[in-house]
Structures are given as structure tokens and as C-alpha cells.
Structure 1
Amino acid sequence: MHDISIWLLFLFVVGSYVQSLTGFAFGLVVMSVAGLFSLVSLEVAAFSVSVLSMVNAATGLYGGVWKLVNVKNLLAYFAAATPMIVIGVYLLDFLGSNALHWLQLLLGVSIVLACLMSLMKPKKDAEASRSWVYFVFGGISGIFGGLFATSGPPISYLMYRQPIALNVIRATLLSVFFITSLMRIAIMGVGEQITASMMWVSVLGLPCVLITSILAKRYPPNISPQVIKQVALVLLLLSGVSLSVKALL
């Protein structure tokens, strides 16, 4: 457990650093590398991502940012996302115990799809999407969020297509990440799936994420965030493909 924690802490630092500079998904970075190199079980990795993402989102919403949230669309989103998060959490527990290779394959394919979606630059729509669109994307994001704590790519793609202010988009996305993480943790708690290892890794990862986020913003590298994001996407795409191949062999 000691060695695993050290490698995971390093992974948390890398993921937090990339996300702080680019806004890129912390969860995808952690889940892809942890799954590829079997640093820890996917259940433990997903739980720690949920805890740390919730803390990160809460920090972003602090100071009245939460007042900008588009509540109507958020309700439509979670009407579909909630049951899918429940299904995703219990599917992760079942596959982790009975069909690990299928779980690894599913994670690999999910990472590849998430990277491809992140590479697509959404264009602003002339009109705001209707509530049923948020409902559909809520179902898709919910299953990813329940399985691997990576609900970001689908809903982020949808939100950045909306003809609304960027601060409203950011506040709504942060709220989605916070509530999704909180729900995922609560569902695991009710199902008595939270283990000591999950808590231990999450507690150790917290200062790493917070300190790295502060330092990355205060001392950014002399490299364009867009370049860093593109490099991260390529590496994640390769890790997703490698994980899928690993699961099939």
C-alpha cells in the first residue's frame, strides 16, 4: 500500500498540474495511467478521483460563482444522470469482481472516446439547447461518472456549444462535477463499498492536488496551455488504446 500510494500521489500531481493549466480532465489522467499500469484497483482510483474532483469543484464555486448556474438545465441533466450514476457504480463493483478484463476494455474505450470528443472543437449554436438535450447528455455522462468518475467530456462538449457567457458555462460545469462526485460517494457509502484503501489514498492525495493547483497557477510554464493539452490528449489516447489491447490479450 505504501508503494502504491507514492505512485498515485505522483499521478495526482501530474493530473492536477495539467488540469490547472488547461482545464483538462483530471479524472481521465488518473484513471488511464492507474488502469494501464495497475497502480491500484479501478474502484480505488475512481473513488479518489471523485473525492478530489469534488474538493476542486467546491473551491471553484466558492465566492458566489455557484449563483451563475443554469438551474433549469442542471435539473434536466440530473434527471437522467442520477439513475445512470447508480448503475455505473454498481456495474464497476460487479465487473471489478467478476470480469476485470472487460472492465479494463471498457475503460480503455471510454478514454479513447473521451479524447476524440475533447479533440473536437464545438461551435456555438445559434439557439440554446432544449432541456431534452441535457437529459440525453445527462444519461451518457452519468454512466461514465458512475463507472470511472469521468463524466466531464460529454457535458463539457454540450455546454461549450451554448450561446451563453463563459462564466455561466464554467459555473454549471463545476456544479455538475461537484454534485456528480458527491452523489457517487454517497451511493458507494449506502452500498457499503467504501474501503480503508479508498479513504487512505484520497486523504493523501488532497494536499498534493491543492498544492499543485496553487503552484501551477502562480508559476505557469513557458509553454502554451493549448500545446500542453494537445500533448496530454495524444498521450491519453495512446494509453486508452494500450489499455484496450491489454484487456484483449
Structure 2
Amino acid sequence: MDLPAYAVFLLIVAFGTWVQTTTGFALGLIVVGTTALFDLMPIPKVAMVMSLLGLANALAALRGRTREVRWDVSLLCSAGLIPGLVFGVWLLGELHDDAPRLLKLLLGAFLFLAGGTMMFRPRTHQSASAGWTYTAVGGFAGVLGGLFSAPGPAIVMHLYMQPITVRAIQATLYSIFAVTSFARTCTVGWRGELTAEIGALALISMPVVLACTVLTQRYPLQLNDAQLRRAVFALLAIVGLTLMLG
């Protein structure tokens, strides 16, 4: 990557971090999707960078909020998420080597569908779902996290259906994202694919993630939530369709 490409990547990271901190997810979706669209770097590389950046973002967002985390929910989701993630990382390697066009097609479809979930506010259940549902959703999210470092949509939808306060949901999501990012980093490192270049790019990008997270929390923009979700959906839909048709 040359200097202009690095600058574009950092701008994408800053925007994705702002959206993630404001809405609760979409950092991985925006960064991986947009980077793949502009061919700034291979999908496995940007997904690994996002694992490291996602860990920094989650830990920064959890600062002072650990008491709000529903640890029972986090553990149930993680029980399915980790094995699903290992499979997703393996599948990413296979598709990148043998079927790169199919990989981009899957990424495009995922972005389009995931963006659509931001358009809907799921109806809250009167009672909590059975424990196994969290593990099942975690397993599905783990596969997506392994593939694209973006486990959020399925877990976000499921948690917002539960009779839990919004702040507790947000804190719990960040705890799950921290587990995802850490587990994915360990898995990729075990496979010998965690290179010095990936580490350097993550280090360059990390101050942007931390600064945007803290600034967004401290000085939130007064935006209409529905309009913001529509705008993000439109962006993800355009990126997704372009990847599928390109």
C-alpha cells in the first residue's frame, strides 16, 4: 500500500469507528467491505487488522462499563462463537486461495443483508430466550466473525429482542466483540498468518480507533437514529451490490 491508500484506509477506519460507537456495530462491515471494494488489500489481511482494531475499540468502549455487562449472556454467546469462529477463519483461507470471486460474492451478500438489519428495531420479548438460542446465534456469528471479522448483526438482533436495558445490551455486545477479536487473533496467529505488516498497520490505525471511540462517547452528535440507520444501510447496500456485480 502506498501513502494515499493508507490515508484512505485510515479515513474508512475513522468513519467505521464512529458508526460502531454510535449504533453498536458496523465497524467490521464498513472497513472490510469498503477496503475490498477499492482493492486496498486482500480480505484476509483487512479482516485480521480489524480483529486487532476491534479489540481496541471494544476495550475502549467497555472502559467504566463492565458492571453493566450481562456476563451470563456474554458467556452463552461465546460458547458458540469461538468454535464457529475457528471454522470461519479456516473457510476464509480456503475461499481466498481457491475461490476469490465466490468470497467477494459472499461478502457482498453479507453486507447487503447485514445492512438491512439496521433498518429494523426488533420487538422486545416479554421473557428472555432460552440459553441455547444465545449459543446458536453465537455460533452463526462466529462463522461470520471468522470470515469477515464482523460478527455483529446476528447477535445484535438477538440481544435487542431480550428484556434487557439498552445500556446493558451495548456493554454486553462490546464484551462479546472483545472475545471475538481476541479469539480470532489467537486463531490466525496459531495458523502462522499474523504478519509484521498486519501488526504495523493495526498499530498505525489504533490511535484513530481509540480517539474516535472516546470523542464519539464524549461528544455525541445529535442525529436522528432512524435516519442514521438508513444512511448506513444505503452505504452497505451500495458496497454489497457493487461487490456482487463487480
Question: Same fold judged by TM-score > 0.5?
Answer: yes
Measure how far apart 1:228 and its partner are.
2.6
The TM-score, its normalising length taken from structure 2, stands at 0.92
Residue 35 (structure 2) aligns with: 34
> Residue 60 of structure 2 aligns with which residue?
59
Q: Which residue of 1 aligns with 2:190?
A: 190
Q: Deviations over 1:147-201 (max 9, x none)?
A: 1010001001010111122222122111100000000000111111112221121
Deviation at 1:221, TM superposition (A): 4.8
Following superposition, which runs of at least 4 residues in structure 1 exceed 6 angstroms of deviation? none
| 1:112/1:240 contact within 8 Å kept | yes
Asked if the contact 2:118–2:229 (Cα under 8 Å) also holds between the matched residues in 1, the reply is no
Residue equivalent to 2:173: 173
Instruction: Give, in angstroms, the shift of residue 222 of structure 1.
Output: 6.1
- Equivalent position amino acid for 1:49 in 2: M
Deviation, structure 1 residue 95 = 1.4
Q: Tell whether 2:136 aligns with 1:136.
A: yes
- Cα distance in 1, alignment partners of residues 71 and 23 from structure 2: 26
Q: Name the aligned partner's letter for residue 130 of structure 1.
A: A
Cα deviation, residue 137, structure 1: 0.4
CA deviation vs aligned residue, 1:37-56 (integer Å, no higher than 9, x gap): 11111111111111111111
Q: CA deviation at 1:32?
A: 1.2
Give unmatched runs, 5+ long, in structure 1. none
Q: SS at the partner of 1:240?
A: helix
Match of 2:20 in 1: 19
**Offset of residue 217 of structure 1:** 4.4
Percent identity reads: 33
TM-score normalised over the length of structure 1? 0.91
Q: Distance in 2 between matches of 1:55 and 1:206?
A: 7
1:219–1:66 CA distance, 2 compared to 1 (3 A): closer
User: Which stretch of the first structure deviates more once superposed, 190-199 or 222-231?
Assistant: 222-231
Q: For the structure 1 residues 16 and 76, does the alpha-carbon distance in structure 2 shift closer, same or farther, using more than 3 Å as the test?
A: closer
**Deviates further, 208-217 or 154-163:** 208-217
1:44 is matched with which residue?
A: 45
**Distance verdict in 2 for CA 1:18–1:164, change over 3 Å:** closer
Gaps in structure 2 of 5+ consecutive residues: none
Larger CA deviation: 100-109 vs 207-216:
207-216
- Alpha-carbon RMSD across the aligned residues, in angstroms, is 1.8
Residue of structure 2 equivalent to 1:6: 7
Change (3 A) 1:37 1:51: same
Instruction: Name the CA distance, whole Å, in 2 between partners of 1:46 and 1:176.
Output: 17
Partner AA of 2:38 in structure 1: F
